[in-house]
Amino acid sequence: MHWRPALSSVPDFAARLVAWQREHGRHGLPWQRTRDAYRIWLSEVMLQQTQVATVLPYYERFVASFPDVRALASAPIDVVLQHWSGLGYYRRAHHLHAAAKLIVEHHGGIFPRDVETIASLPGIGRSTAAAIVAFAYGTRAAILEGNVKRVLARHRGIDGFPGTPQVERQLWAAAEAALPHEDIERYTQGMMDLGATVCTRTPACLVCPVNVDCVARIEGRIDELPAPRPARSLPHREVRVLVFEREGTILFERRPAKGLWSGLLSFPEAALEERGVEVARARFRVDATPGPDVAPLTHGFTHFTLTLHPQRLAVSAWPLLSAEHAWLTREDALRGALPAPIKRLVRAL
């Protein structure tokens, strides 16, 4: 039988979290120094599946180029993707751009104030909308991003993988029940900070402000909660990428608007069994000479792994290009909107 504290003598969960955040939480992040819903939205989207240290320079560059929602809405998507290049999960950038256009078209360029309207915008959803209204307007709304799921699963002893609908419903109920009626901004930040800095995969339970009644700690189940994603083998894809080179420039091809790396510049692709010189002649109607070998590159995504097999091809002439193609120098390419693995390949050339 596990000992449990007399909960009547334990301060409220939210009160402990707010007091801890005031003294030990994160306070100096650039998006914490504003009530601008646009900038808060931008930071929340960038922070989805991406660490703070990675986001910081991207955020600073982004707001310098697109200081408000109208600036983002009026910018060409190519320029937006160029600013996002290297941050990954590029659908986020497409959604930001689409949502900015909707805010300008349907809300006069003024960011909405209610959770339901914000949650209906592309790429936002319930938790991100709640974070925006909490930080921008002080509205009482529950968040449930990945770190918060871990905190609540452990503290409330909620079994099961958080990605399943049944477990997620329990976590949402716990998140709603824990909401305070005041200090909502500090409480929301505290939930994020606790999950990011204390209740991590290897938690620092001794300094946790809510450890006294944490079910996972009391029952010795810290390593079990939250339950991991059920094991599965990731599919592995392989593709040949054709690196056409001419007079110090490289040919790039824009990816389709939907799918992997949507809208970004990459190399033309071919099936692994196809020879580059034959593809060059059949698809582009040019003669090409094979160049030096480049080592394959494997990149991991959430749902699969991808191995790129580059083949360098030198050409002396090239027919008229479509709008989907561009010849760029190595330096210009590295400054452009390229997926991270393609940038790695360019640097290796």
- The predicted pLDDT at position 345 comes to 94
pLDDT exceeds 80 at position 10:
no
pLDDT digits (tens, 9 = 90+) for 330-346: 999 998 899 999 999 99
- Asked if residue 334 lies in contact with residue 343, where contact means CB atoms within 8 angstroms, the answer is yes
**Catalytic residue numbers?**
44
14 token code pair: 């939210």
- The predicted pLDDT at position 189 comes to 97
Q: Is the peptide bond before 165 cis (omega within 30 degrees of 0)?
A: no
Under CATH, which number does the domain 9-218 receive? 1.10.340.30
CATH superfamily, domain 236-348, is Nucleoside Triphosphate Pyrophosphohydrolase (3.90.79.10)
List CB contacts of 68: < 8 A, sequence separation 6 or more. Answer: 38, 109
pLDDT digits (tens, 9 = 90+) for 253-269: 999 888 899 889 999 99
Residue labelled with tokens 């921008």: 136
Spatial CA neighbour of 163 closest among 222, 229, 89, 119: 229
Using DSSP's 3-state secondary structure scheme, residue 60 falls into helix
Q: Which pLDDT band holds residue 174 (cuts at 50, 70, 90)?
A: very high
Q: Which residue has the higher pLDDT, 320 or 84?
A: 84
Strands (E), the chain: 236-246, 249-254, 265-266, 269-270, 289-293, 297-300, 305-314, 325-329
The CA-CA-CA angle for residues 155, 138, 66, to 5°, reads 105
**Same-fold call for 9-218 versus 236-348:** no
Average pLDDT, the chain: 93
pLDDT exceeds 60 at position 12:
yes
Calculate what percentage of the chain has a pLDDT beyond 90.
81
- Asked if residue 290 lies in contact with residue 338, where contact means CB atoms within 8 angstroms, the answer is no
Domain ranges of the chain: 9-218, 236-348
- The predicted pLDDT at position 320 comes to 65
Q: Which pLDDT band holds residue 323 (cuts at 50, 70, 90)?
A: confident
5 token code pair: 């504290």
Residue labelled with tokens 């808060």: 40
- The predicted pLDDT at position 331 comes to 94
User: Is the four-CA dihedral 182, 188, 190, 191 of positive or negative sign?
Assistant: positive
- The predicted pLDDT at position 317 comes to 84
Q: Which pLDDT band holds residue 7 (cuts at 50, 70, 90)?
A: very low
